[in-house]
Structure 1
Amino acid sequence: MTDLHELAAKQVALGETYGLPAADPVNEPMIRHWLDAMGDRNPVYLDKGVAPPAMAQVWTMPGVGRGAKERSPVDEIMAALNDQGFTGVVATNCEQTYHRYARLGDVLTPATRFSGLAGPKRTALGEGYFATWNVTWYDQAGEPVAEMLFRVLKFRPKEKRRPYPLKPAVNQDTGFFWDGVRQGELRIQSCADCGELRHPPGPVCPSCRSANRTHVVASGEGTVYSYVVHHNPPVPGRETPFVVAVVELPEGVRIVGNIVDCPPEEVGIGMSLRATFRAMDDELILPMWAPREP
């Protein structure tokens, strides 16, 4: 496997590597297209025969066919990172410096210098490396027109979990409950008029028939009221045997959930439990129950 830092040191040692000159000189039609695309109404460019400075990279973009023949010190580093699984990429810095306007008729040539590789670093996107390089655009006389520092994060994308097949129904009545689960809260619906708690949630209070609803956040404690150990039939996304329990909450309602972190044979009526929240895939979190420590 390629040592990334050794390869980076080799690429840095190459210094500036010149690419191919622009296929076309700086020209008015391309400037006009750029101004239209950017909504730039500044008349100075067409009046004075100069290009917007930010167009520097546009003149030497190689295109698909031409690009296959052109290599830079960055390409080998990018290929090595891809080979080692760092296939994700996101730009983090782009700093441009302008020495003068590019004028109509100028033929620009890019020169790339690889500056360094930092990593591995842990980021929110995943583990990766920060690669930095500089590009300078020279005119036909060899004078610099513009330069750019560019830095990207090449990261190893996190593996996505398979979607959990048993998705709960989320609707206007139950949305508040699942919003709470995502925040690590066990929410119980309550009547906004008489205050009675109810679970499962519903549109109307069974006590006073009010449709005004709110909720309270439960303590997250409970006891086993009853339970079953499921062996068969197989359940998609679950490994049997597993325990499904009716859990009695001190708030006065009961809720159904799986008991985890405990062998099925050790579950018993009256067992003290605490709520725990488990990610089933990249989107779904389910409330479950685990034995409460003495």
Structure 2
Amino acid sequence: MSGTDAPQETAQETWDHDRIMAAVEKMFAMGETAPREARDPINQPMINNWLEAMGETDPRYSDGIAPPAMAQVWTMYGLDPTRPADDPLHGTMQIFDAAGFKSVLGTNCDQTYLRDVKVGEQISITTRLESVVGPKVTGVGEGYFVSTLNTWWVAKKNEQGGEEREAVATMLFRVLKFKPAQRKPRVDKTKLVRPQMNRDTAYFWEGTKAGELRLQKCNACGELRHPPGPMCPTCHTADRGYVVASGRGTVFSFLVHHAPQLPGKELPITLALIELEEGLRMVGEVQGNRENIAIGAPVRVVFEQIDDDLTLAQWEVTA
């Protein structure tokens, strides 16, 4: 059974525990996947980027040894959403989607490092479905805990001159696939986590109150920037003003937040990174039907008044 073979939920079909586990057993029967090679060998430029992002300064990792915690980095999928047909996690998620367990919550990730890997070595990964436990009733809803085991390998020569694989790291990854609990807590929107307001951002919040989406502009060189700041990153002057944006853009990326509960918010909510017509990107909440949202979808700004002091810029899909 491949990830694309998972039956789809219909109005006529019902999924009980036995049917779910029968479909899951087919995923177990597939066993460990064939090795999938990393796109690139271990390389120092990628290590350097990771070290900078993580603030890691150990000198060993600047001289050909990869940080062990980078194990997952080398074989991560790219932006292409296509997954191999034998990907057990993706295939199992499709089964639970079809059964109505459409929400997911990461629970834990245990990595074990067996040896250091070095620049020039070629990593590959195999994956198998380790366990499916449930149904369990949790604070977020009823669901199943799904665990997969990833193993990272490096090819090496054996005593006979042939080639064999050496395991260098493993990762047990567990998620909860669940149906959100059917409850509608009373939401007081004024209790939300309030954004920071200071001299650098005052113009923005004065704009939302007036029904304008304002973008900071350097009066010296004309550079637009968001989030706002005290100094232009291009010409380094502190002469700042603003322009009123068109309020139109497209969805660059998005996620749907189901849990945990957020103060002042009725879940689920959709959060998106919006690419504005002016070329900047801005994070905001998307209102309305989540079924209409997709990467590249056109959106326009809308304003929600929370109280006398706060009006939020939010977004709605226009097509």
Where does 1:37-116 land on structure 2 (aligned, <5 Å)? 37-47=53-63, 49-65=64-80, 67-69=82-84, 71-116=86-131
- The AA in structure 2 aligned to 1:9 is E
Q: Which moved more, 1:101-110 or 1:119-128?
A: 101-110
1:146 aligns with 2:146: no
- Summarize the Cα distance change of 1:14–1:87 in structure 2 as closer, same or farther, 3 Å threshold: same
Q: Distance in 2 between matches of 1:103 and 1:161?
A: 52
Q: Distance in 2 between matches of 1:25 and 1:66?
A: 22
Question: 5+ residue gaps in structure 1?
Answer: 171-280, 284-294
Matched residue SS, 1:64: coil
1:152 Cα shift?
A: 0.6
- Summarize the Cα distance change of 1:20–1:66 in structure 2 as closer, same or farther, 3 Å threshold: farther
Matched residue SS, 1:156: strand
- Summarize the Cα distance change of 1:26–1:282 in structure 2 as closer, same or farther, 3 Å threshold: closer
1:81 Cα shift?
A: 0.7
Q: Distance in 1 between matches of 2:36 and 2:116?
A: 20
Q: What does residue 155 of structure 1 align with? A: 178
What's the TM-score once normalised by structure 1's chain length?
0.53
1:8 aligns with 2:24: yes
- The AA in structure 2 aligned to 1:130 is F
- Summarize the Cα distance change of 1:68–1:92 in structure 2 as closer, same or farther, 3 Å threshold: closer
Are the equivalent residues in 1 in contact too, given 2:149–2:172 (CA < 8 A)?
A: yes
Where does 1:22-41 land on structure 2 (aligned, <5 Å)? 22-41=38-57
Where does 1:104-183 land on structure 2 (aligned, <5 Å)? 104-141=119-156, 142-159=165-182, 161=184
1:22-42: CA deviation from partner (whole Å, max 9, x where unpaired): 110000011011111111111
Matched residue SS, 1:50: coil
1:36-58: CA deviation from partner (whole Å, max 9, x where unpaired): 111111111112x1111011110
Are the equivalent residues in 2 in contact too, given 1:18–1:109 (CA < 8 A)?
A: no
Matched residue SS, 1:79: helix
Where does 1:260-279 land on structure 2 (aligned, <5 Å)? none
Q: What does residue 37 of structure 2 align with? A: 21
- The AA in structure 2 aligned to 1:147 is T
- The AA in structure 2 aligned to 1:10 is K
Q: Distance in 1 between matches of 2:139 and 2:84?
A: 36
1:91 Cα shift?
A: 1.4
- The AA in structure 2 aligned to 1:143 is E
1:136-190: CA deviation from partner (whole Å, max 9, x where unpaired): 00113311110011111111113454979xx8x99xxxxxxxxxxxxxxxxxxxx
Q: Distance in 1 between matches of 2:40 and 2:82?
A: 15
Q: How many residues align?
A: 170
- Summarize the Cα distance change of 1:67–1:110 in structure 2 as closer, same or farther, 3 Å threshold: farther
What's the TM-score once normalised by structure 2's chain length?
0.49
Give the CA RMSD over aligned residues: 2.8
- The AA in structure 2 aligned to 1:146 is A
Are the equivalent residues in 2 in contact too, given 1:19–1:72 (CA < 8 A)?
A: no
- Summarize the Cα distance change of 1:66–1:131 in structure 2 as closer, same or farther, 3 Å threshold: closer
Q: Distance in 2 between matches of 1:115 and 1:12?
A: 8
Q: Distance in 1 between matches of 2:266 and 2:60?
A: 52
1:115 Cα shift?
A: 1.0
- The AA in structure 2 aligned to 1:56 is A
Are the equivalent residues in 2 in contact too, given 1:81–1:154 (CA < 8 A)?
A: yes
- The AA in structure 2 aligned to 1:16 is E
Taking only the aligned residue pairs, the percentage that are identical comes to: 42
- Summarize the Cα distance change of 1:282–1:91 in structure 2 as closer, same or farther, 3 Å threshold: closer
1:18 Cα shift?
A: 2.3
1:13 Cα shift?
A: 2.4
Where does 1:213-228 land on structure 2 (aligned, <5 Å)? none
Q: Distance in 2 between matches of 1:136 and 1:152?
A: 18
